Amino acid sequence: MLMTLTLQQQAAKMNRKKDKGFESPRPFKLTHQVVCINNINFQRKSVIGYVELTIFPTVVNLNRIKLNSKQCRIYRVRVNELEAPFIYNDPTLEVCHSESKQRNLNYFSSAYTAAVSAVDPDAGNGELVIKVPSELWKQGDDLKVLKVYIEFSLDQPKGGLHFVVPDVEGSMAERGAHVFSFGYQNSTRFWFPCVDSYSELCTWKLEFTVDASMVAVSCGDLMETIYTHDMRKKTFHYVLPIPTAAPNISLAVGPFEILVDPYMHEVTHFCLPQLLPLLKHSMSYLHEIFEFYEEILTCRYPYSCFKTVFVDEAYVQVSSYASMSIFSTNLLHSPTIIDQTPQTRRCLAQALAQQFFGCFISRMSWADEWVLKGISGYIYGLYLKKTFGVNEYRHWIKEELDRIVVYELKMGGVLLHPTFIGGKEKDNPTPHLHFSIKHPHTLSWEYFRMFQCKAHLVMRLIENRISMEFMLQVFNKLLSLASTASSQKYQSHMWSQMLLSTHAFLKSISNVSGKDIGPLIKQWVRDQSGVVKFFGSFAFNRKRNVLELEIRQDYTSSGTQKYVGPIKVTVQELDGSFNHTLQIEENSLKHDIPCHSKSRRNKKKKIPLMNGEEVDMDLSAMDADSPLLWIRIDPDMSILRKVEFEQADFMWQYQLRYERDVVAQEEAITALEKFPTPASRLALTDILEQEQCFYKVRMQACFCLAKIANAMVSTWQGPPAMKSLFTRMFCCKSCPNIVRTNNFINFQSYFLQKTMPVAMALLRDVQNLCPKDVLNFILDLIKYNDNRKNKFSDNYYRAELIEALTNALTPAISINNEVRTVENLNPDVRLILEEITRFLNMEKLLPSFRNTITVSCLKAIRQLQKNGHIPSDPSLFRAYAEYGHFVDVRLSALEALVDYTTVERSSTDLQWLLDLVQSDPVHYVRHKVLGMLSRNPPFTKAADSGLCTEALVDQLWRLMNSGTAHEWRLRCDAVNLYYTLFGLTRPSCLPLPELGLVLNLKEKKAVLNPTIKPEQGTSVAMETPASIGVHGVGMSYSAVDEEPDPVSLGVCGVGQPPQGLKRKAETPLGSPPEPGQILQHTDDDGRPGRYKIRFNPMEDEDIDMETVHDSQAFIHHHLNLLERPSTPGKEPPLAEQTLPSMSAAPVAPFSKDAASLSSKHGGDHAHHHHHHHHEHKKKKKKHKHKHKHKHKHDSKDRDRENPYAFSNSPASGRSLRSPSLSD
Amino acid sequence: MQMGDSSAAPGTSLNYGGRGAKAASSPAENYQLARRRTLQVVVSALLTESGFESAEKAAVETLTEMMQSYITEIGRCAKTYCEHTARSVPTLSDTVVTLIEMGFNVDTLPVYAKRSQRMVITAPPVTNAPVTPKSLSAGQKRTHPSHIPCHFPEFPDPHTYIKTPTFREPVSDYQVVREKAATQRRDVERALTRFMAKTGETQSLFKDDVSAFPLIAARPSAIPYLSALLPSELELQSLEETDSSEQDDQTDSENAAGNVINDDPSADKENSVLPPSGVVPSAKVSEDNVIDNPYLRPVKKPKVRRKK
């Protein structure tokens, strides 16, 4: 009852919230923050500094301030010059207790989500809880400004800041040592204490004292640079007057070379020493991107300056922060490089788009992230359209659409705007996923990328609906509102105009366009995920001259959804192209479309196309009875869909030849793969030769042609596919076997020249070998390749030629697994190997741009190994995978190693890879390795494998549980890998849980000894339910079923005082801090007078805080304890226990700390213990609701028969804060 | 004297006997041997003159050596003096000056020469002075032209100054040229990489034959991005060449930007912000002198009283 009421209240509150705009989850408002880093030590990789936050309490008697801080060692906290006690507790350091035997992913995911919630700034939480000295909060009602001053240091940070210190001679500046901030979503808490939320804006003053040879680049305007007294260092003073969220603050320090943009003097570029020439070239078109965005948005760039910094070992290629962006140095290129140029431009355009939407305009909550990602992705798309052309744009949209379709169909839906009305795990909108989408930090990286992809596609759908003009007006409106707000001095509500919410966005759309896009939003954004899967086929009814189109949908498989609404169908007839809008309804599959063309008597007539062009066609191929040339369903991609359409091969051929839309051409090419006929061959060859055709279509045609040729191998006439074409296009007139000297001035033919050999190498003869002609042809291309007169580098071309050689490889004829020796090397393979050896060796002497040659050679060598031509051996790849090679080379080598591990089932190599994941200095590489392992896993949950051992399970568990605590992305990668290898439930290689444990559990309950090691009990209580589905341990099930709550709750509550209490101090597991939840809590506690609306999680601790008498001793104690978070990973359990020791934990587990505890603390313990009991009594009442609630869930869960649902139920999550049976 | 002789004789045989027998075939050696022997006799005679009964052969040998050095030095110096005065044969005065220069009192020489106890030594056996091999003469030497006096040295052999250009019809067949260039490059590359592989550490793809397909070992570098991103000298060079050769028909901005790369990276920061010539609108150029970018401003000196 009460629960329902609460939910209603909450819902009401949500509604109100929508109307009133932003409401802070915190009882204070941050207005200004000073970050001062006094010292950066590159040798020791440490940082010392302080922050000062100016906050306005929004409640009377603000007695606690929660801030975010991770891995910082905090020395002292002062509030208005008064020493303030503080508590540091980070439950994400170790998600599940280290000694827990629990190993199922469901359990981990819910615990991890709970841990992230517990410190989530968007819920008003934080790792650092500061007690406002009583002198200050007892002052009375006047809400006075508080200044919170925190001194901190960072030692060898594992996240947040990345130090790159090359191991060479010389000073740090000469060595090119640099440091920069990084992170996935809001990760600023890793390098300084702050409110790490995108919705808490404030102005900034940033000061960085660095070596005189270095430059510190940060957000905002550089006011001045001042030498220190010894003249050996200088201090950079930055001021950021535009209210900005902490996650958008960044820093880069290094001996950067400075380039002021010649077109825009307020834009400054920074790169590492020696790269200035590359920087000059790469940045030479940035001003065009600026101009473009400012023009379409009719809004000036919001910051007064912009800085680009190019760093080594970047976390991602592009990351945008307020008025600056950090890029990977590998984006820089010289003017001789073709392939990198568009990529770099794209990255710059992305960065700049995010400056407007993402940095300047921030999001209100995580659920609104899709709007920002969508808008920045959308305007980036507009830039692509303008710069690279409509073809490229449409191709890109198709590519993105295909990506999201593939992902959603494989992994399940991507939900853009998740709502958690109930705030319960049960209401998880994405039960198909093995992670929670409630927080950005629990998402798998791939999901997040797909999320971004879908967001911009949906923006495009909105554009289709309301027109681009209105769309841009909306953006302009949002930006002008924000810039008006940004120039205001701090006022309670103005700054929230800079925060964008889904609601505000939709409202703005309806205001501007007057159109209701509700259904569209409902379909693609809110509550529904998945794509639409259409199957189309047609018949032509000659009598009625009607096209009978049947469109079916599959909306039952995973990742799909039902579509109801209009759909556009374009029919190309003899008399022209006609658009029809059909209505997809519940039960109508068939649609009759009347045709316009009666017959085709007049053969000479030109056929009008969609774009008004009229062309001559050879109509002999078509069906004489039908006027239909081709049919397209949803040609504008205005639905997120996959269409499988059936039409005759000649129709696809016509579509390929004559339809001018690149998307249609690409669809036709894909479809033609299924029609290996001479007619298809001719159509493809014609397209290949047609220079007006978009080059990417032609490239795709190459591969299709290769496939068709292989399918037609027995009837193929003439030289190998594409050979004569290539000869005609790229070889000398006088000697057709010799390729012309390279001249890549025409980029279209360059890309074609690169691609054709690669596709040709896929050709196979009747013996399924690469034809000798083709191999010799490729070898000749390599031999006669001459780049001396070319003004562009041919490194990508040569790399593709190596790839062609790789493609030409076929499996060796193996005679009973003999050892591969040089003698029995196939002569063709010998030639290939010789080329590869020479290329690889030459690369050492004359390295190519981004070492593309080495990358290709490593792939080729792995392919040689895999096909049994040379002995399979990982040592070469290990050498190239080492730190110190160029990152592309490393990744290529690692890819080969992962493949080796999978093919050879090598446990040593798997171990080697996992060690690399744990210890490699480059975050990007670690991330990539886990990604590769997930994509190409050595084994999966489906199959048994010798590699699947208990040790491996433990290792991976440790990795995601505590080993990756300082890097959200890596942790999610580890979770992904764990999921790929073992699935959601308990890994099969682990021994079955003992049956007797349930009994033990009860015994334990009777013992009532809080110091007993509780983990075993916990794990059973938590794990048994979840493992029921898998192991079918009937006995344990019945035991749990019999008395489910008390057992699990009891154990959790008492059996493990440290953990139990720790959980209590955080936001409770399974109950996200939604307002409704809090209200309930307050009511229950019967302390309505208190203001703790969003303060719930710390409530229990409240009294603990008050009982800390001696703040000095307190601080002293904490300084000791805080040693640990700064060396995370090693002793996370102890770090976590910080809090329990403060509240009620027995001293026993802290033998080390015991010595340092003052006698006063001993007293505290007794006191706390008492309090603890007291509290439990209070909670017992509450428990009753819980109990009911729980049963409700149980029944629901069983109804659904979802084996996984159990772990989402309160039995696993909520129980931790429930009353203990010890009372 | 007896003793001296007897001691000298074995010394001689010791020093030269063994080799002498072998070297008898060489006239030059025979010649020297005889001279040396005479010198030894002279030393022995001098020793006897000075009243020595006997001498160790090592001592005699050393003294011989010193004597020889002394005489050689006199000869060398005298020759130098003579050449200094542009003559080719030393005269008496050259020798005298030399002796004086070496600190020898020349006046005492006549007295010494006429001393009574002087022993007469037989002249050394006549042996043929060694013949210096004639340089191989090739071709006809040129005679002096009329304006050169005939006492001037003769022309050297013609091959030392005549150049004979080797000349063959250049291969103009395109196919052959390409073929040749390709083969040549491949051979050079192969030889070079083989050499590098032989001289350094290698990795191998085969276990049975480590030398087949040797791969130069991968070596991590401290700053891997530099070599991977910066164009090599070779590329820069060829870029320059193509730029200059194609300047007429290349008008696109890519090419203009291409020149940027040749700028000195260590150029002054103020200069470095100057845009590549001709790309920037002229209005901007004039502004360039007054770029106000906070990163270009000078670093301030600390205030005497530091805040905080």
Model confidence over A256-284: pLDDT tens digits?
999 999 999 999 999 999 999 999 999 99
pLDDT at B265: 40
Q: Hey, are the CB atoms on B295 and A266 less than 8 Å from each other?
A: no
* Mutant choice from A38, A215, A260 vs B, greatest count of B C-beta within 10 A: A260
Percent of chain A's residues with pLDDT above 70: 77
Residue A233: closest CA among A38, A481, A519, A18:
A38
Q: What SS3 state is found at A576?
A: strand
Q: How far is CA A14 from the centre of its chain?
A: 28
Give the HSE-up count for residue A877: Cα atoms under 13 Å, Cβ half-sphere.
26
pLDDT at A1051: 35
Contacts of A36 in chain B (CB under 8 A): none
Q: Hey, are the CB atoms on A260 and B242 less than 8 Å from each other?
A: no
Q: Which of A58-62, A341-345, A1089-1093, A1159-1163 is the least confident region?
A: A1089-1093
pLDDT value at A956 more than 60 = yes
Nearest CA in chain B to A229: B302
Query: A430 — contact with chain B (CB < 8 Å)?
Result: no
The pLDDT tens digits of the residues spanning A727-750 come to: 999 998 888 889 999 999 999 999
pLDDT value at A1200 more than 80 = no
* One-character DSSP codes across A940-978: -TTS--TT--HHHHHHHHHIIIIITTT-HHHHHHHHHHH
Q: What SS3 state is found at A678?
A: helix
* One-character DSSP codes across A1144-1161: T--SGGGHHHHHHS-HHH
Q: For A446-451, what is the mean pLDDT?
A: 94
pLDDT at A433: 86
* Mutant choice from B187, B225, B273 vs A, greatest count of A C-beta within 10 A: B225
- A842 closest CB neighbour out of B193, B220, B291: B193
Residue of higher predicted confidence among A1187 and B54:
B54
The pLDDT tens digits of the residues spanning A46-98 come to: 999 999 999 988 887 888 899 999 999 999 999 988 999 999 999 999 888 87
The DSSP H or E segment spanning A1199 is helix A1159-1200
The pLDDT tens digits of the residues spanning A1130-1174 come to: 333 433 333 433 433 333 343 444 444 443 443 444 444 444 444
Q: Hey, are the CB atoms on A885 and B224 less than 8 Å from each other?
A: yes
Structure tokens at A90: 């980070």
d(C-alpha B27, C-alpha B47), whole Å: 30
Query: A748 — contact with chain B (CB < 8 Å)?
Result: no
Residue B46: closest CA among B112, B107, B149, B119:
B119
pLDDT value at A198 more than 90 = yes
Residue of higher predicted confidence among A890 and A19:
A890
Contacts of B279 in chain A (CB under 8 A): 284
Query: B170 — contact with chain A (CB < 8 Å)?
Result: no
d(C-alpha A47, C-alpha A41), whole Å: 6
* Mutant choice from A276, A332, A340, A851 vs B, greatest count of B C-beta within 10 A: A276
pLDDT band at A604 (very low <50, low <70, confident <90, very high): low
Residue window 239-298, chain B: list those with CB within 8 Å of chain A. 239, 242-243, 246, 250, 254-255, 257-258, 260-263, 265, 269, 272-276, 279-280, 284, 287-288, 291-297
Check: CB of residue A1018 under 8 Å from CB of residue A1062: no
d(C-alpha A1124, C-alpha A1121), whole Å: 6
pLDDT at A558: 87
Q: Hey, are the CB atoms on B299 and A822 less than 8 Å from each other?
A: no
The pLDDT tens digits of the residues spanning A791-850 come to: 899 999 999 999 999 999 999 876 656 667 777 788 999 999 999 999 999 999 899 999
ipTM of the complex: 0.75
Nearest CA in chain A to B212: A822
Residue of higher predicted confidence among A1081 and A866:
A866
Check: CB of residue B253 under 8 Å from CB of residue A914: no
Q: What SS3 state is found at A1062?
A: helix
pLDDT band at A1183 (very low <50, low <70, confident <90, very high): very low
Q: For A492-498, what is the mean pLDDT?
A: 80
Q: Hey, are the CB atoms on A838 and B272 less than 8 Å from each other?
A: no
Residue A409: closest CA among A537, A536, A552, A529:
A529
Q: Which of A109-118, A509-518, A992-1001 is the least confident region?
A: A992-1001
Contacts of B263 in chain A (CB under 8 A): 277, 280
d(C-alpha B193, C-alpha B196), whole Å: 5
pLDDT value at A647 more than 80 = yes
Check: CB of residue A235 under 8 Å from CB of residue A209: yes
Query: A304 — contact with chain B (CB < 8 Å)?
Result: no
* Mutant choice from A844, A861, A864 vs B, greatest count of B C-beta within 10 A: A844
pLDDT at A501: 92
Q: For A191-218, what is the mean pLDDT?
A: 94
Q: For B249-263, what is the mean pLDDT?
A: 39
pLDDT value at A1066 more than 50 = no
Q: For A1067-1084, what is the mean pLDDT?
A: 37
Residue window 131-170, chain A: list those with CB within 8 Å of chain B. 166-168
pLDDT band at A542 (very low <50, low <70, confident <90, very high): confident
Query: A277 — contact with chain B (CB < 8 Å)?
Result: yes
Q: For A1007-1026, what is the mean pLDDT?
A: 36
A140 Cβ neighbours under 8 A, 6+ residues apart:
A60
pLDDT value at A1041 more than 50 = no
pLDDT at A141: 57
Q: Which of A191-195, A431-435, A637-641, A667-671 is the least confident region?
A: A431-435
Q: What SS3 state is found at A896?
A: helix
* Mutant choice from A149, A174, A284 vs B, greatest count of B C-beta within 10 A: A284
* Mutant choice from B219, B230, B235 vs A, greatest count of A C-beta within 10 A: B235
d(C-alpha A1002, C-alpha B297), whole Å: 74
User: What's the one-letter identity of residue A867?
Assistant: N
pLDDT value at A112 more than 90 = yes
Q: Hey, are the CB atoms on A738 and B274 less than 8 Å from each other?
A: no
pLDDT at B170: 74
Q: For A764-776, what is the mean pLDDT?
A: 93
Query: B217 — contact with chain A (CB < 8 Å)?
Result: yes
Query: A226 — contact with chain B (CB < 8 Å)?
Result: yes
Structure tokens at A1175: 């509290």
Q: For A122-135, what is the mean pLDDT?
A: 90
User: How far is A230 from chain B, CA to nearest CA, in Å?
Assistant: 9
d(C-alpha A166, C-alpha A168), whole Å: 6
pLDDT value at B271 more than 60 = no
Taken in order A1122, A1124, A1125, A1127, the sign of the CA dihedral is positive
Contacts of A259 in chain B (CB under 8 A): 272-273
Percent of chain A's residues with pLDDT above 90: 58
pLDDT band at B304 (very low <50, low <70, confident <90, very high): low
Contacts of A334 in chain B (CB under 8 A): 229-231, 235, 261
Contacts of B290 in chain A (CB under 8 A): none
d(C-alpha B238, C-alpha A336), whole Å: 11
Check: CB of residue A526 under 8 Å from CB of residue A536: no
Nearest CA in chain A to B250: A745
Residue window 306-325, chain A: list those with CB within 8 Å of chain B. 312
pLDDT band at B253 (very low <50, low <70, confident <90, very high): very low
Sheet of strand A233-245: strand arrangement: A82-83, A73-79, A146-155, A46-57, A28-41, A201-211, A233-245, A221-227
Q: For A673-689, what is the mean pLDDT?
A: 94
pLDDT value at A1212 more than 60 = no
Mean pLDDT of chain A: 80
The pLDDT tens digits of the residues spanning B150-168 come to: 888 888 777 778 777 777 7
Global pTM reads: 0.74
The pLDDT tens digits of the residues spanning A895-929 come to: 999 999 999 988 999 999 999 999 999 999 999 99
pLDDT at A84: 93
d(C-alpha A212, C-alpha A234), whole Å: 5
| 3-class secondary structure per residue, chain B | CHHHHHHHHHHHHHHHHHHHHHHCCCHHHHHHHHHHHHHHHHHHHHHHHCCCCCCCHHHHHHHHHHHHHHHHHHHHHHHHHHHHCCCCCCCHHHHHHHHHHCCCCCCHHHHHHCCCCCCCCCCCCCCCCCCCCCCCCCCCCCCCCCCCCCCCCCCCCHHHCCCCCCCCCCCCCHHHHHHHHHHHHHHHHHHHHHHHHHHCCEECCCCCCCCCCCEECCCCCCCHHHHHHCCCHHHHHHHHHHHHHCCCCCCCHHHHHHHHHHCCCCCCHHHHCCCCCCCCCHHHHHHHHHCCCCCCCCCECCCCCCCC
A1049 Cβ neighbours under 8 A, 6+ residues apart:
A1183, A1211, A1215, A1218, A1219, A1220, A1221
